[in-house]
């Protein structure tokens, strides 16, 4: 139960925000919504609002959906003429397929957009009320024969950049090292008021994350401390808070895309991938660290959900947007047969990913 309750809370919040993004733009452009569901399967409880939408919570809380009025293949216009014959002129205005291309695109993109906005809101509030760390990292020790020593790093070097990322906090050093997908690591340091660029090749070791989970960790053999012997955490004003929140989302998105690219090249550590079981486990573990850590986890999961849904895979929001791009270029929707072919490919990819992450989850639990 210590894992299940935090997991349900996390998934409910992230999925609700995602689906509400679709719902908001649908209602804005006059598309009638018949169902707003959190979860799948049998309805546990729900209610009807004044617009005729059924808001419900279902038995399997692993996603959600918004169902539009007249929905059969809501993101396709290839059967539009046949569909329109079934409805009066007044009802036709409520159909998704009758809306202009830009409105359909915004309705589809509304889900991922809402996820990114949720993450921005959470990080912004944290930056304003809790603060952001700006402690400058200084190397206090370099391990003998380590990648850092071989690269030329020295004690008292102040780390100011890793790869193309500006380092503004001690916490960012480990993050930038471990999210590096290349073999080599470019490190910029300040030594005697001079900027020096060095290249290190990290070692990969078996380690534990702060939650006690087994991970593959990249190290270069340095011990980091505050440059001025004190930690510097600042509460930010709204503008700077939003800036750093947006910067965090950009970094997470960029790193995720780079990881996916590395995965297709066979270079990524896929053992760290996980599905619902792993998310549930992490949710429970993080909750023990307090509400702040849990809110941050919600933000990161929200970014992941928004980003993954933008991948150009049929059945995902990005797949529908891809179809709309073809429609814009060709001046007409793709044929029904072509779309169905793409959907089969998308279904195969998603089922394969689900099987892989489930196997990874079970392996993480020691069942394989």
Query: What percent of the chain is predicted at pLDDT more than 70?
Result: 86
Q: Do the domain assignments include residue 183?
A: yes
Q: Is residue 287 part of a domain?
A: no
- Enumerate the β-bridge partners of residue 197: 188
d(CA 75, CA 315): 10
Q: Would you say 259 and 268 are in contact if contact means Cβ atoms under 8 Å apart? A: yes
Nearest to 312 by CA among 273, 358, 272, 350: 350
Most confident of 68-82, 147-161, 175-189: 147-161
353 within domain boundaries: yes
Q: How far is CA 203 from CA 39, 178, 208, 222, 304, in A?
A: 42, 10, 15, 12, 27
Q: Identify whether residues 87 and 153 lie together within a single domain.
A: no
What pLDDT is recorded for position 331?
86
Which residue, of 234, 265, 287, is where some domain finishes?
234
Token code pair at residue 249: 């989302």
Over residues 101-124, the mean pLDDT reads 96
Domain that holds residue 117: 4-126+296-364
Domain stop point among 199, 216, 234: 234
CA–CA distances in Å: residue 57 to residues 15, 29, 277: 11, 25, 20
Count of the separate structural domains present in the chain: 2
Residue 75's pLDDT is what?
Answer: 42
Q: What is the pLDDT of residues 29-83, one digit of tens each?
A: 999 999 999 999 999 999 999 999 999 999 988 889 999 987 655 444 445 666 6
Q: Answer yes or no: is 258 within a domain.
A: no
Least confident among 106-110, 206-210, 228-232: 206-210
User: Is residue 34 domain-shared with residue 105, that is, in the same domain?
Assistant: yes
Active site residue 19: yes
Query: How confident is residue 342, by pLDDT bands cut at 50, 70 and 90?
Result: confident
Residue 290 lies in a domain: no
Same structural domain for residues 32 and 56? yes
**pLDDT value of residue 368:** 47
327 in the same domain as 225 = no
- Do 80 and 43 have their domain in common? yes
Q: Is the pLDDT of residue 364 over 60?
A: no
Banded pLDDT at 134 (limits 50, 70, 90): very high
Q: Mean pLDDT for the chain?
A: 86
Burial of 206 (0-12, 13-18, 19+ CB in 10 A): exposed
**Is 80 exceeded by the pLDDT of residue 240?**
yes
Q: Are 352 and 322 part of one and the same domain? A: yes
> Given a cut of 90, is residue 22 above it in pLDDT?
yes
pLDDT above 50 (res 100): yes
Q: Is residue 125 pLDDT above 90, yes or no?
A: yes
Q: Are residues 167 and 106 in the same domain?
A: no
CATH code where residue 167 lies: 2.30.42.10
Domain for residue 352, yes or no?
Answer: yes
- Per-residue pLDDT, averaged over 310-322, amounts to 90
Look at 108-122, 248-262, 293-307 and tell me which has the smallest mean pLDDT.
248-262
Q: Which of 58-67, 104-113, 205-214, 329-338 has the lowest mean pLDDT?
A: 205-214
Shared-domain flag, residues 10 and 75? yes
Which of 19, 82, 90, 340 does the annotation list as catalytic?
19
Residue 121 and residue 136 share a domain: no
15-29, 178-192, 203-217, 332-346 — most confident range: 15-29
37 within some domain: yes
Residue 16 within any structural domain of the chain: yes
Q: Are residues 156 and 120 in the same domain?
A: no
At 366 the pLDDT is 52
């Amino acid at each position: 139960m210590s894992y299940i309750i935090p997991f349900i809370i996390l998934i409910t919040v992230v999925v609700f925000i995602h689906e509400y993004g679709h719902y908001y733009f649908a209602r804005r452009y006059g598309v009638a919504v018949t169902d707003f569901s959190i979860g799948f399967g049998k309805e546990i409880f729900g209610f009807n609002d004044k617009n005729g939408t059924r808001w419900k919570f279902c038995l399997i809380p692993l996603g959600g959906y918004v169902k539009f009025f007249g929905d059969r293949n809501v993101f396709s216009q290839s059967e539009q003429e046949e569909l329109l014959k079934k409805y009066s002129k007044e009802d036709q205005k409520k159909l998704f397929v009758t809306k202009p291309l830009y409105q359909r695109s915004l309705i589809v993109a509304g889900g991922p957009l809402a996820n990114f906005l949720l993450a921005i809101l959470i990080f912004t509030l944290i930056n304003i009320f809790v603060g952001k760390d700006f402690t400058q990292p200084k190397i206090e020790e370099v391990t003998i024969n380590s990648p850092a020593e071989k690269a030329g790093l020295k004690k008292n070097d102040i780390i100011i950049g890793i790869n193309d990322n500006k380092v503004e906090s001690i916490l960012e050093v480990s993050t930038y090292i471990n999210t590096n997908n290349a073999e080599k690591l470019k490190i910029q340091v300040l030594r005697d008021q001079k900027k020096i660029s060095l290249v290190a090749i990290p070692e990969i070791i078996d380690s534990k994350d702060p939650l006690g989970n087994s991970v593959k960790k990249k190290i270069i053999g340095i011990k980091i401390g505050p440059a001025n012997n004190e930690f510097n955490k600042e509460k930010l004003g709204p503008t700077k808070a939003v800036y750093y929140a947006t910067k965090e989302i950009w970094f997470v998105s960029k790193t995720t895309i780079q990881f996916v690219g590395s995965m297709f090249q066979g270079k990524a550590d896929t053992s760290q991938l996980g599905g619902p079981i792993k998310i549930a486990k992490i949710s429970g573990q993080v909750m023990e660290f307090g509400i702040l850590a849990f809110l941050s986890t919600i933000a990161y999961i929200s970014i992941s959900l928004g980003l993954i849904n933008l991948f150009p895979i049929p059945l995902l929001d990005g797949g529908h947007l891809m179809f709309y791009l073809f429609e814009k270029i060709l001046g007409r929707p793709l044929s029904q047969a072509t779309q169905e072919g793409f959907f089969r490919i998308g279904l195969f990819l998603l089922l394969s990913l689900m099987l892989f992450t489930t196997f990874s989850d079970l392996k993480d639990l020691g069942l394989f």
